[in-house]
Amino acid sequence: MISKVCSKCGEEKELEKFVKDKTRKNGRRGICRKCTTLKSIKWNKNNPEKVKVYRELPFNRARKNAREKERWKKNPEKYRERKKVWAKNDREGLANSYICRLIFEAFQVRFSEITPERIQNKREQVMVFRALKSLKEAINE
Ligand SMILES: [Zn+2]
């Protein structure tokens, strides 16, 4: 049995207990699976905003939606209506998912390049744009 010592908890464990990593010499990460999980739980706790953004990225949303789509395949009419309502709510409420989509459409960036700051900047931009638009409409009336 080939084993390895975890650099975090210091326990000696079999190689299977380490996540594969091709960039490493021995093909495994330095910390064990258990420590990796604990680390990510801790990170999620300390970065709730980033987790929220990450969850709402189109890539993750699509995965979630795929499951729901399967459920609603039998009832396409209902699904179409719900989708319309969601899109409207996202647009009006300037939800992260809506802002993310705007950024994707405008810059064709990778999801890792979308930061909470970037989303906030874009949101403010859209708010200014909307305010100007309603001002223009008020003047024209
Ligand atoms: Zn460990």
pLDDT of residue 79: 76
pLDDT digits (tens, 9 = 90+) for 92-111: 888 888 888 888 888 888 77
Judged against a pLDDT cut of 80, whether residue 119 lies above it is answered with yes
Q: 56 with 28, same domain? A: no
**Residues 121 and 139 occupy one common structural domain:** yes
- Kindly state whether residues 39 and 59 are assigned to the same domain: no
Q: Which residues surround ligand 1, an ion (CB under 5 A)?
A: 6, 8-9, 32, 35
* CA–centroid distance, residue 47 to ligand 1 (Å): 22
- Same domain membership, residue 135 and residue 116: yes
Same domain, 70 and 41: no
35 burial level (CB within 10 Å; 0-12, 13-18, 19+): buried
Instruction: Look up the pTM and report it.
Output: 0.44
Residue 96 sits in the same domain as residue 139: yes
Task: Say if residue 141 is in the same domain as residue 99.
Answer: yes
Does residue 59 contact residue 111 with C-beta atoms inside 8 Å?
yes
Return the pLDDT at 78.
79
Q: Are 107 and 97 in a shared domain?
A: yes
Number of domains in the chain: 3
Asked if residue 141 has pLDDT above 90, the reply is no
Quote the pLDDT of residue 58. Answer: 75
Domain hosting residue 69, numbered range: 47-89
* CATH at residue 40: 3.30.60
As a whole number of angstroms, the distance between CA 20 and CA 18 comes to 6
Decide if pLDDT at 112 tops 80: no
pLDDT, tens only, 29-86: 999 999 999 998 898 889 888 888 887 777 777 787 788 778 878 788 877 888 888 8
In this structure, the answer to whether residues 100 and 140 fall within a common structural domain is: yes
Closest to 122 (Cα-Cα) out of 137, 134, 136, 107: 107
Q: Which two tokens stand for residue 35?
A: 């420590």
Helices (H), 73-109: 76-93, 96-107
Please give the distance, rounded to the nearest whole angstrom, from the Cα atom of residue 21 to the centre of ligand 1. Answer: 16
Task: Count the Cβ atoms, other than its own, within 10 Å of residue 53.
Answer: 21
Distance 112 CA to ligand 1 centre (A): 27
Q: Are residues 12 and 31 in the same domain?
A: yes
User: Are 33 and 52 in the same domain?
Assistant: no
